[in-house]
Amino acid sequence: MPTGPLRTTTPTIDVYIKLAQYPILCDRIRMRMREELFRRGIVDKTEFEQEVKILAMESQRREGLNNPTVQEDENAWQRRLETIRDLHTDNYFANNLGSTLLEQLIDEVLNNQDQAMQAIELTFNPEIAPWAMLFEQGSIYDALPPPEQEKVKHHLQEIKVVLIKRLLSDHLPFIRMAKQVFSIKDLNGIYERLIGSGKIGGKASGMLLAWHILERANHDFGPNIGKHVTIPDTFFLGSEVIYEFLLQNKLEKYINQKYLSVEEMRSQYPEIVARCLEGKIPNYIVEQLRDVLNRLNGRPFVVRSSSLLEDHIDYTFAGKYASVFCPNQGSPTENFEVLLDSIRRVFASTFNPEAMVERQKHGLIDYDERMAVMIQPLIGHRYGRYFLPTIVGAGLSQNPWHKEDNRTKEGCLRLKLGLDERISLPLEESQTCIISLTTPDYINGSKALIQKNVKVVDMEENDFKVLPISEILREDYPYGRFLLDPQTQQLTYDHLINDEKFVRLMRTALTRLDKSYDVPVQFEFAVEIITTPSGPDYKLYVLQCHTAV
């Protein structure tokens, strides 16, 4: 396993120069190079990726990142990994397989490219085609120049619709939006992070749809905010896994709980939770979850429900299923057991009687509900022994406090420092600070409701704590100048309210989502404050999005 800087030899440099001649195809060529390395037993795929990760972490230290989980966001980390992976591929290949085979692989990719460009007509039925065929053909269409792509756009749309139905949702209003927003590359990225089979669920689908709506340049919906918007580094447990879990643990008898009376469901629910917590997760899923935990790299994370019905266009099911926060500061074995236990708790919440009542309310009791799961690192920063988000909140695209005039259209926000388990509550029911974005200001004196305590992860005790806010907002707190009132020494959002950059970002996000959905929306988010020489900048993480029904 490598240590120290990545050493490049003359043969490696020759490979690098040769690939530089193919700036578009080099990714595909390197993929074939790795396949040959793995196939010939020169290096194991898992070992190779572990080496890439170690080299990437060493490169962080050389570049002066003493606390990389705070100093480098997920997008930068992924770019770093991609760069190191390419260099490591060149190094292995040059020192083990050489230039003759490289020339053969380049010719192979070039010949396949020529054949692919000729394969304009769709020659198979996408509805029954395997994943690889759909992504390959979709990528061919995506790579065509605009005049050629226009000829096959109906085929491209069909492939995207099939992938959306398999991965995200078969709900027609969702599909109508999603096929205009997602690219083949976007959908392939989701598929690569899918563990097990099935869909990723409504909450995950809503989050991804909102993110891609916001990152696209669409001048009809306001300024381009794409570089300021992202999502956490998320992994998805497919919706079919819960069926395997129930069958393996002889829990399938509970699937039809929905037809019992509410009283019977409530009386039996504790037993279901207990049985689920004793259940075993399929072994092949467990092995993939180990890799997920490694990739979380010691960051606190949350295991979130994402049932097929959550964050639906017509209903939300907000707060009806479990989400579990995990400090992730114990031993690897302890952290892994917490991850598995959290997934079991989310599975058990599928049978929550309150969710069943909500399904009855919307006439969905006969729907074959399945529970997918999201695993996400918490967005935030370390402060001493504590970890906490800078700002989390919820936004409404239409302001319910100004329904009688035009001020309703630019929305409002609920903001909070630290972890917020109440994020799924209706915004107007929350006893925290509400800010109008029309003429940015606090609503109805809500400044008085600014929180007095803050929930954090205690990294030393591997647990959560609720602290007086004065324990965080001290002189050395890195974001104190943006959040601390110097006169009262209390939390304030005055700086954000008066910063046009922040207001414009949030107003544009809400307006764009409202216009895209064509109904009022509520979305949950985290905000990172980034200090720059010219003042603060902001990174908006989309956590959830649904209609404000």
Query: 475-511: buried (b, 16+ CB within 10 Å) or exposed (e) per residue?
Result: eebebeebbbeeeeeebbbebbbebeebbbbbbbbbb
Task: Identify the residue with better confidence: 181 or 421.
Answer: 181
Taking the model in full, what pTM does it have?
0.78
Report pLDDT for 221: 66
Q: Work out the pLDDT band at 429, boundaries 50, 70, 90.
A: very low
Lookup: tokens for 287: 């092995």
Report pLDDT for 340: 97
Rounded CA-CA distance 146/441 in Å is 46
pLDDT at 142 over 70: yes
pLDDT at 314 over 70: no
7 DSSP assignment: P
What's the mean per-residue pLDDT of the chain?
A: 86
Rounded CA-CA distance 435/399 in Å is 10
Cα dist from 274 to 209, 327, 381, 431, 494, whole Å: 35, 23, 35, 33, 47
pLDDT at 533 over 70: yes
pLDDT in tens, 32-83: 898 889 888 898 887 888 888 889 888 888 888 866 655 666 567 777 888 8
Q: Work out the pLDDT band at 370, boundaries 50, 70, 90.
A: confident
pLDDT at 423 over 50: no
Residues ≥6 apart with Cβ < 8 Å to 15: 90, 93, 94, 99, 102
Which has the closest alpha carbon to 296: 374, 376, 350? Answer: 376
Contact 515, 281 (CB under 8 A): no
pLDDT at 424 over 50: no
Question: Which range (215-224, 280-289, 379-388, 417-426) has the least confidence?
Answer: 417-426
Contact 105, 36 (CB under 8 A): yes
Report pLDDT for 315: 61
Lookup: tokens for 540: 């908006």
Report pLDDT for 408: 63
The residue-averaged pLDDT of 500-527 equals 92
CB neighbourhood size of 405 (10 A):
9
Task: Identify the residue with better confidence: 44 or 248.
Answer: 248
Q: Work out the pLDDT band at 543, boundaries 50, 70, 90.
A: very high
Residues ≥6 apart with Cβ < 8 Å to 20: 26
Among all chains, which residue has been given the structure tokens 């591929």? 89
The residue-averaged pLDDT of 426-454 equals 73
Sheet containing strand 386-388, edge to edge, reads 381-383, 386-388, 453-458, 463-468
Rounded CA-CA distance 168/165 in Å is 6
Question: Which range (329-343, 387-401, 438-452, 519-533) has the least confidence?
Answer: 438-452
Report pLDDT for 145: 82
pLDDT at 119 over 70: no
Cβ-count burial of 139 within 10 angstroms (0-12 exposed, 13-18 middle, 19+ buried)? middle
User: What structural domains and CATH numbers belong to the chain?
Assistant: 10-117 (no CATH), 235-377 (3.30.1490.20), 381-547 (3.30.470.20)
Report pLDDT for 329: 95
Q: Are strands 521-532 and 391-396 parallel, antiparallel or unpaired?
A: antiparallel
Cα dist from 334 to 29, 37, 59, 279, 328, whole Å: 41, 35, 29, 17, 8
Report pLDDT for 5: 53
pLDDT at 427 over 50: no
pLDDT in tens, 477-505: 999 889 988 888 888 899 999 999 999 99
Report pLDDT for 6: 56
Contact 102, 33 (CB under 8 A): yes
Cβ-count burial of 160 within 10 angstroms (0-12 exposed, 13-18 middle, 19+ buried)? buried
Report pLDDT for 495: 92
Rounded CA-CA distance 386/173 in Å is 43
Report pLDDT for 443: 82
pLDDT at 223 over 90: no
Grouping H, G, I as helix, E, B as strand and the rest as coil, residue 204 is: helix
Q: Work out the pLDDT band at 361, boundaries 50, 70, 90.
A: confident
DSSP-assigned beta bridge partners for residue 491: 484
Rounded CA-CA distance 326/83 in Å is 31
pLDDT in tens, 252-304: 888 888 888 889 999 999 999 999 999 999 998 998 999 999 999 899 999 99
pLDDT in tens, 160-209: 999 999 999 988 989 999 999 999 999 999 998 999 989 999 999 999 99
Q: Work out the pLDDT band at 388, boundaries 50, 70, 90.
A: very high
Report pLDDT for 300: 95
Contact 186, 167 (CB under 8 A): no
Rounded CA-CA distance 404/490 in Å is 33
